Structure 1
Amino acid sequence: MRVWRALLLALLASLAVPLAAKPPAKPVQLDQELYRTVVERVRGGENFYPATMAAQRERSYPVQPALAVRPPTMTYMLALLPSTVTRTAALIALLFGALIALRQSLADRAPAETLAVVALAVAGLFGAFFPDNVYLHEQWSVLLIMLSLAAHRRPWLSVGLALLAVLVRETALAWLAAILLMALWQRDGKRALMALGAIALAGGLWLIHARLVAAQVVPGDLTSPGWVRFGGLPLVIDALRRNLVLTGLPGPLILVTVAASLAAMLRWGREMERTAAIGSAGFLAALTVFGRPDNGYWGFMAAPFVLLGLPLLARQALRRRPA
């Protein structure tokens, strides 16, 4: 146990080195500044919607349709903390908690395989170590998804965490839908009803969010050019580079590696891996249709999960090796 913890700390420490990864693109930094401003305004006593709309207008950001305005969940959570330092500490604590939960869910695996899975997950979480990335919704939502997957033996907790992830970032719906599909495949009616109820609740809350956004729109407000761009595989490849292992690889090799990993998770994985694979595959498929060229940072949502099948492939290869 002590050795495992030491190795995990070493992995996390290596990601804290600024030169370890490619810095996020400039549009992401601008988004971070926007979200930080809104958090500070809400902490100062302003209402979320007027504060958000004002901050987006100041930066010439579109405020309609409602998808142009992120849900208030993360803002309210961060506004409870006094500074960026304490908020970042909370994010890193959640990251450690998610990795520990992931490791515990793999307690019956061989130590080497467990370490490999955790290391590959860490490689997809390096964004949490960049300054001010605490204000990116993806960083919080993906950790809640990881906790949800690790808690698959407790349906109410798993579905509840996935719902919270969706309320932080709508794109987490891919993994909540994956929980529903897995429940239907396993004929687990109770889990399926819980997941379906969570999806319905998330949809209802988003409609309320949309109405509150619409109530703040005034003549002259900018409208988003939209996200239906059919960007295809180039956007998928850009998104997948958010995993540190894949960052420097050629595009075709990235696609082959991720496809093999997801297939292995579906073929030899257990419930956690299969749910992660279904959610990641659905998310990546959606990226071929939705998303602009500057939305590659959405890939932080899938980065910790897309390579978790590589240890399964290695296990199968070792089993087939001649004596």
Structure 2
Amino acid sequence: MKVINKVLVVGYGSMGRRRIRLTSELLPDAVFYCVDSNVERQKQATEDGHQAVSSLQEGLDIHPDIAFVCTSPGHHAELLLQIVAAGVPVFTELNLTSNKYDMLLEASVEYQVPIFVSSTLVYKKQMNLFKEMVGKQSKPLTYMYHVGQYLPDWHPWESYKDFFIGRKETNGIREIMAIQLPWIVDCFGKIADVRVTHQKCTDLDIQFPDSVILSIVHESGHIGVFVVDVTSRKATTHLEVIGEDIHVFWDGHNDDLFKLNIDTKELESVEVYASEEHVEGYSDNIAEEPYRDEIREFIRTIDGESPRYGLENDAYILGIIDQIEKEYMSQYNK
């Protein structure tokens, strides 16, 4: 394995700090260099024991071994191109636009540098278990999936108007779809057709719907309903997978996954993780293990292993989301 001593982290917000904390567990001897234009965050990084730098070029001049891009998800492309051109393997957080993806793919090949795209739920063991269960079925399945949380509760310490989830281009509905659709497609297959219903039922000062219902037909023959909202006053994740030979229920945590025993008609608990780690300030259905696992896979890609989810996969998902938004975005212009 390549020796990693210097880690560059672009963006010292909540995700940047999470990546540092988890990466330091895997690479305890690494030194972290934090790029952030915000002087207060530079100060915080220094107080936390890291090296603070004020620009990406200054960080690249240190010749880091790997880099993480943890800035707002609408503006990653230029940063990634600059990092790849410097020959540095890079991990990018969730992208909400496919801007310059063709250039990124070409640059990755030209400079022989991996670009690892975060898709945390692809690495969550529950989702891998669902994929295994679905793969064993010989008949089409139906699923019902609801994910929602009231927008101001996402980051209670700041106004949603000052956070990217409140902006039209990188809105909270789009973010939930970008987080969830990768594992849904991985589990049930590519999307053949999607029909969209939407509304705005809150007084939130936003230029996008707060509630969207997707009726999805997969190329595999499976069908599903995916409800996405930024309205739910209790953070909600609820999944049912239904078929003649299977019925699965999940409410987003480690201890609430159940599978119906078809013979006895009893619900049987399915334990996935022996325990889960949670960080204060986040919803209790957000666990740290998948974030840690995708960093492990990023490190393995440096030695030539192919990731489970790459730029091509991400471009496909973002294309689906663009298609969905065309159904309604023009109706929410102020």
User: Shorter-normalised TM-score: what interval?
Assistant: under 0.3
Q: Greater share of strand residues, 1 or 2?
A: 2
TM-score of the two chains, using structure 2 as the length reference: 0.25
TM-score of the two chains, using structure 1 as the length reference: 0.26
